[in-house]
Amino acid sequence: MAQSLISIVIALIVAGFLLWALRQIIALIPMDPWLKQVVDVLILIVVVAIVLFYVLVPLLHMLAAQLHL
């Protein structure tokens, strides 16, 4: 269980860093403002998907396994 919690914390740190870094890179690229907003929303959707599949789903599996014991 401790290994799972450590991997969850690492996944959250990586997702946060990816979001920050990609937003910084997108800010440097000369684009129309509406296109920057579209790209920013797509990046946010990808990061939320990472958090959903690598953090929340395993956490729910761990909780379900604990409830069956």
Interatomic CA distance for residues 19 and 12, integer angstroms: 11
Provide the whole-model pTM: 0.75
Task: Evaluate if residue 9 carries a pLDDT over 70.
Answer: yes
For residue 69, name the pLDDT band (cuts at 50, 70, 90): low
> Distances in Å between the alpha carbon of 27 and those of 33, 54, 58, 63?
10, 27, 33, 40
For residue range 45-67, what is the model confidence (pLDDT) as tens digits?
989 988 888 888 888 888 888 88
Q: What tens digit of pLDDT does each residue of 13-44 get? A: 988 998 999 999 999 999 999 999 999 999 99
The whole-angstrom separation of Cα 26 and Cα 2 is 36
What residue segments make up the domains of the chain, in order of their start? 2-68
DSSP, res 29:
S
Q: Taking Cα atoms as reference points, which of 1, 27, 17, 24 lies closest to residue 51?
A: 17
